[in-house]
Amino acid sequence: MTDILRSAHGGHGVIRTESSFSSISTAVAESDFKTNQSIKNSDQSDEKLRVQSKVWPMEDELSSSLQRENARRSDDGAVAYSNSPRMREPNSIAEGDAYIPTAELWGIGVSQILELGPTNTARKLADASFDKFARLPFGEFVQEARERHSEIIYDHLWAYNLLGEKLYFDFVRASNHLDQLFQVKEGLEEIEADPFIRATVDYAWTKAVFLRLQKPQDKAWENRKANYLSSRLGDVLNKLVIQPLKRIIERPHSALKIQQDLKIMEARFRRTFMPLNVHWHSPFQVSTQFADEVRCSDPWTIAQVLTSKDKLLFKTYIAVAVEEDGSQARSILNARWNELMAEVSECLIARIGLEATIDDIVHGLYRLRNYYSMAAIIHGIRESGLQMESLGRYGQLFNPASNYQFYRNFMGTGNALHFLRPTFTALKFGDKKYAAVAVGDFANIIHFNTVYSLEPGEHGYTSQLEETASVGYSFFNVLSKCFGF
């Protein structure tokens, strides 16, 4: 078995220099000028070219390379492509299934692009590529990060190589339609499709253009020969996922902690790459700060630390956030809340034994009347699907029904760091009543630093004061700044 092709960044990669890639590119290079000459001398009409584009040029050469790849895999003890029961349509593949995709599964050629149009073709390719990536088992990325070759990852990227060569072959024969492929490339960039499909279409278009210009001696052409696309795809995957996971594995921690962190990363991976609005330009984030704090500190200390951070955040942004032009401040407050909710959800989905501690943190936050972080944790618990004690006890307080009507009725019962979603929603409709309560109760909690205990009553929640201590913050200064009192 040939060696893995390592990327230029640290010498680590996931793509192997396979004879199949080399043979495809070699066959293309040998026939480039002959093909171009036949195009120049052709008197065929556009309609005939369109019919011809449905045929895969140089099919014999590509089929031969596939057969050689099958033989190599059989010799290595792997399943041959031609006999593989795993080669099914993507929509029939269960999550975690191993499968070997081929270029035909993309269902895209010149005729399809002409029929669908560049914009719809770009969306079809982006959706298919996203679906393929989302189905990859997380353990395969971990295997690559441990420098143990993953056949599934290799097969996944090999499909892009096949697609790139197929598009190149097709548009060499139908070069008068190259502008359509360029529009597909532009469409993928416009919708911010994943970097794998964008690199593939860019490779096919650029290679076809250089052939049309008859400049094989150009350095840019040389960079796109042989294993250029393979290396580029491997580099993208390394930067996006593999290298961040390596940082987890190489931490000087116990094997148990690394295993727990990888379980958290699996939950985060699905959260990061399953939504349709994926930010592909950002590497996978591997911080485990919240989990580390929960594992190493007592719940009451964590609740106090969260509250101290939240007080500083509110002091800086709450007065601006409730103003009409405070969208940036609202975004900052919402981002911190969403981050905490996600971290809680990931820790619980990972099932690493932090449930009881998180329950106790919620109790501590209630005593400190920090409903901002408390709501984030309750929502994280709810998202994890676990039925925990704190969710049963406080869940109704943050029930989203009727724009959190229960919580809005609860506001104004005393000084607090408030859960801000219902306040910000009301502001969109010009209702400033809850904004005034949120700012006023924040000023109170700074002034009195109150600690409460929960007393569930017959008609809801009541709070019993335990202790107060003044820290000298002016309630009226905040109100006057926000509302001109």
**Res 217: pLDDT:** 56
Identify whether the C-beta of residue 128 lies closer than 8 Å to the C-beta of residue 103: no
Q: What whole-number distance in Å separates Cα of residue 130 and Cα of residue 115?
A: 22
Q: What whole-number distance in Å separates Cα of residue 39 and Cα of residue 287?
A: 55
**Given the structure tokens 């840019």, which residue do they identify?**
220
CA terminus-to-terminus distance, the chain: 77
Residue ranges, comma separated, of all CATH 1.10.840.10 domains in the chain are 289-483
**Res 216: pLDDT:** 52
**Res 57: pLDDT:** 35
Calculate the CA dihedral of residues 370, 376, 378, 382 and round it to 10 degrees.
170
Taking the whole predicted model, whether its pTM rises above 0.85 is answered as no
How many CB atoms are closer than 10 A to CB 1? Answer: 12
Calculate the CA dihedral of residues 153, 156, 157, 159 and round it to 10 degrees.
160
Per-residue pLDDT tens, the chain, 485 aa: give them: 333 333 333 334 443 333 343 443 444 334 443 444 443 443 444 433 333 333 333 334 444 444 444 444 444 433 332 222 232 233 333 444 433 444 445 778 888 888 889 999 999 999 999 988 988 999 999 999 999 889 999 999 999 998 998 898 888 888 888 889 999 999 999 999 999 999 999 999 888 887 766 555 555 555 555 577 888 899 999 999 999 999 999 999 999 999 999 999 999 998 888 776 777 877 788 999 999 999 999 999 999 999 999 999 999 999 999 998 899 999 999 999 999 999 999 999 999 999 999 999 999 999 999 999 999 999 999 999 999 999 999 999 998 887 898 999 888 888 899 999 999 999 989 899 999 999 988 987 765 554 444 444 433 443 443 333 323 333 334 334 343 43
The three-state DSSP-derived secondary structure of the chain is CCCEECCCCCCCCCEECCHHHHHHHHHHHHHHHHHHHHHHHCCCCHHHHHHHCCCCCCHHHHHHHHHHHHHHHHHCCCCCHHHCCCCCCHHHCCCCCCCCCCHHHHCCCHHHHHHHCHHHHHHHHHHHHHHHHHCCCHHHHHHHHCCCCCHHHHHHHHHHHHHHHHHHHHHHHCHHHHHHHHHHHHHHHHCCCCHHHHHHHHHHHHHHHHHHCCCCCCHHHHHCCCCHHHHHHHHHHHHHHHHHHHHHHCCCCCHHHHHHHHHHHHHHHHHHHCCCCCCCCCCCCCCCHHHHHHHHCCHHHHHHHHHHHHHHHHHHHHHHHCCCCCHHHHHHHHHHHHHHHHHHHHHHHCCCCCHHHHHHHHHHHHHCCEHHHHHHHHHHHHHHCCCCHHHHHHHHHHCCHHHHHHHHHHCCCCCCECCCHHHHHHHHCCCCHHHHHHHHHHHHHHHHCCEEEEEEECCEEEEEEEECCCCCCCHHHHHHHHHCC
**Res 390: pLDDT:** 95
**Res 224: pLDDT:** 53
Candidates 200, 192, 203, 157; CA nearest to 281 is 192
Candidates 224, 343, 203, 198; CA nearest to 281 is 198
**Res 278: pLDDT:** 78
Identify whether the C-beta of residue 20 lies closer than 8 Å to the C-beta of residue 69: yes
Instruction: Return all residues near 359 (Cβ < 8 A) that are at least 6 apart.
Output: 388, 389, 390
Instruction: Return all residues near 252 (Cβ < 8 A) that are at least 6 apart.
Output: none
**Res 282: pLDDT:** 75
Identify whether the C-beta of residue 15 lies closer than 8 Å to the C-beta of residue 234: yes
**Res 451: pLDDT:** 47
CATH superfamily entry for domain 289-483:
Ras guanine-nucleotide exchange factors catalytic domain (1.10.840.10)
How many CB atoms are closer than 10 A to CB 226? Answer: 16
